Structure 1
Amino acid sequence: MDAVVCRAWGPPESLTVETLPDPVPEAGEVVLQVRAAGVNFPDVLIVQGKYQMKPELPFTPGSEVAGVVTAVGEGVRHLKPGDHAMAFLNVGGFATHAKAPASMVLPMPEGLDFDTAAAFTLAYGTSYHAVVDRARLQAGETMLVLGAAGGVGLAAIEIGKRLGARVIAAASTPEKLAICREHGADETIDYSREDLRARLKALTGGQGPDVIYDPVGGPYAEPAFRSIGWGGRYLVVGFAAGDIPSLPLNLALLKGASLVGVFWGEFARRDPRANLANLQTMLGWIRDGSLRPLISARYPLSAVPQALNDMAERRVTGKVVIIP
């Protein structure tokens, strides 16, 4: 098989495409011929050794794929060779073939294409776990989404609207905010031009949002948390800005608010049945048109460094995928 290989921690340009032996499934594993692989911000961090999980070198990055099952290990009953499937794996996705635990592989519903399936698992899994499991967002509540034009941000907007919430999307350009509105955002904030706190106060009548979804961190975290409503839930999803903010904990006291950590990958590992149920629910929402994953670009294996740099430099809207 052909695969992108990381042999030393470093920038995306240090990655190489190499020919490796095809993977062989062990008990409880599935091998797929990869038709599409999703690109996510953690991929940028992992190859630089900056993520909380550090794979043993050398390794192939990429954590979500869709493709055709070529082999299954002992004990696998829900899939067989030839099936179309989507999978989440720790590493190994940017390759022509990938191996995953059977508990993290789902048959693809009829009518779902490989690109969409590869762009779905991590972004929508993360956002559903955050918004539904962790924040318990209710119909009629207001949710602010930071970094709203990215993959997890757009997923959070769509899930929030599906639950009947009012969604405010914050992003850095008018073009990105237009995409947020296309995916259901009720109101928008351009935080490169507008004062985040003042705009939130105006949009919420001074009450503040009930839920804040933050995959960005950095300089907007504290002003957002200062604006949260009474009893609000602040979802700590990630740190795409690069800086991990230090929030004054007295704000949580004064607002009766909660800081809520979101680590979807660990949730999926610890409770695969609950994660599977979440994904099945959302696949139904894709079928009824409530969720519409946006794929803004496609890259070959040789362009994985460009895809990761585009992600790091915030040139990506929605999701981008690798087509091996």
Structure 2
Amino acid sequence: MRAIQVSEYVKGPLDLKTTEVPTPTPSPDKYLIEIHSAGTNFFDILQIQGKYQHQPPLPWIGGAEFAGTIAALPTSSASSSLKYKVGDRVFGATQGAYATHVLAPEHTLLPVPSGWSFEDAAGLFVTAPTSYGGLVHRAGVKEGDWVLVHAAAGGVGLSAVQIAKAKGATVIATAGTARKREIAKEFGADYVVDYTDKAWPEIVKKLCKENRSGNGAAGVDIVYDPVGMIEPSLKCVAWNARLLVIGFAAGSIEKVALNRVLLKNVSIVGLHWGQYAKFETGTVGDVWKGIFDLVAQGKFRGTAFKDESFFGLESVPKALQALGGRETWGKVVVNVTDEKAKSKL
């Protein structure tokens, strides 16, 4: 099979190369999956540079998120006891997604939603549960809430916009370019704000004052922050607001003035979705049920950024470079086995 194997750490995505490696053989507890599409993540860029918190022993194959078809079943189980059969369309996450094939255990796989493309499904495993888990299970979003979503045109941002709207909230979305703000509105945001404008907290407060009534007019009820903007967001929140710490895409970890937390009676809560499989397995099932319900109701759609140049494994370096340079919106996905690439498999 072909794969992007890391035998030594590189300076950046464009240093990655595609190579031939042995196709994995079916294992006792893992499915062999033919990958059709692979999702990209910021942590992939850190990992290939040796800067991520989880570094596999060299050499290893890059990538984590994927969607594809079951090519072979685990060898130690009777087919009747397995959830999937050969040919089933699945998506999931495991080390080694930048390849034509990967081995994955059953608990890391989910069925591709009916009517969804592999491209959209490849970007679902991390973004959707991060946003649903944060907004629904940690912040308790409900009808009538006002939700401020930062970096709203990113993968988790567009998921958050859709989930908040599906739960009856009003959404203010921030993004740094006109095109990204337009994308946020296309996915349901009620208002958009340019967060490169230093006065953005005042703009948010003004939107609330002009369009809300009662105590809520002072600001938003929920802040969804994958960037690292909790401190300035405290300037535009209402009484009893809930601020969700999702990540630090801006590159630095904030120090927050706790007097503001006290004075506005707010809660700051974190979400480490990756650890739910270890500490709250029951919640994982609840979150995915909630997501699939929204999909079935037509209230949640894929967020894949489908650039026609991201075809074949050879395009992974370019896709990661675009992701790191913030040149894209949504979830950047590479079509691994597009017809243009199949002749090379």
> Is the pair's TM-score, using the shorter chain for normalization, greater than 0.5?
yes
**1:211 counterpart = 2:229:** no
Which moved further from structure 2: 5-14 or 306-315? 5-14
Count of matched residue pairs: 321
Provide the residue aligned with 1:199 in structure 2.
203
C-alpha change, 1:6 and 1:200, in structure 2 (3 Å) is: same
Q: Paired residue for 1:23?
A: 24
Structure 1 residue 311 and structure 2 residue 320: aligned?
no
Distance in 1, matches of 2:55 and 2:321, equals 19
Report whether the alignment pairs 1:151 with 2:160.
no
For the 8 Å contact 1:104–1:272, the answer to whether it is kept is: no
- Structure 2 counterpart SS, 1:100: strand
SS at match of 1:110: coil
CA drift of 1:25 comes to 4.0
Match of 1:182 in 2: 186
Q: Is the 8 A contact 2:230 2:245 kept in 1?
A: no
- C-alpha change, 1:82 and 1:22, in structure 2 (3 Å) is same
Letter in 1 for 2:326: R
Task: Report SS of the residue matched to 2:61.
Answer: coil
> Which of these residues, 263, 277, 292, is aligned with residue 268 of structure 1?
277
1:80 aligns with 2:100: no
Partner of 2:7: 7
- Alpha-carbon contact 1:103-1:272 (below 8 Å) kept: no
- Partner residue of 2:235? 226
Q: Deviations over 1:164-216 (max 9, x none)?
A: 11111001011111111111111111122361211121122252211111111
Contact 1:126 1:264 in 2 (8 A): yes
CA distance in 2, matches of 1:211, 1:141: 7
The one-letter amino acid paired with 1:297 is: K
Q: Find out whether 1:288 has 2:301 as its counterpart.
A: no
State the alpha-carbon separation in 2 of the partners of residues 270 and 42 from structure 1: 22
Identity of aligned residues (%): 37
Aligned with 1:204: secondary structure?
Answer: helix
CA contact (8 A) 1:196 1:223 kept: no
For the 8 Å contact 1:94–1:322, the answer to whether it is kept is no
- Deviation, structure 1 residue 301: 1.0
Task: After superposition, give the CA deviation of every residue in 1:30-51 in whole Å (9 maximum; x if it has no partner).
Answer: 2210001111222222222333
What CA distance in whole angstroms lies between the structure 2 residues aligned with 1:249 and 1:30? 49
* RMSD value, Cα: 1.8
| Distance in 2 between residues matched to 1:33 and 1:237, nearest whole Å | 31
Query: Is contact 1:157-1:185 (8 Å) kept?
Result: yes
Q: Is the Cα contact below 8 Å between 1:6 and 1:61 reproduced in 2?
A: yes
Structure 2 residue 137 is matched with structure 1 residue 133: yes
Confirm or deny that 1:257 pairs with 2:266.
Answer: yes
Q: How many angstroms does 1:28 deviate by?
A: 3.1
Residue type of the alignment partner of 2:86: P
The 3-state SS of whatever aligns with 1:184 is coil
Kindly indicate whether the alpha-carbon contact (under 8 Å) linking 2:121 and 2:302 is maintained by their aligned counterparts in 1.
Answer: no
Contiguous gaps of at least 5 residues in structure 1? none
Which residue number corresponds to residue 322 of structure 1?
A: 334
Q: Name the amino acid aligned to 1:5.
A: Q
Give the gaps of 5 or more residues in structure 2: 210-216, 337-345
Change (3 A) 1:195 1:313: same
**After the TM superposition, which of the residue ranges 93-102 and 48-57 deviates more from structure 2?**
48-57
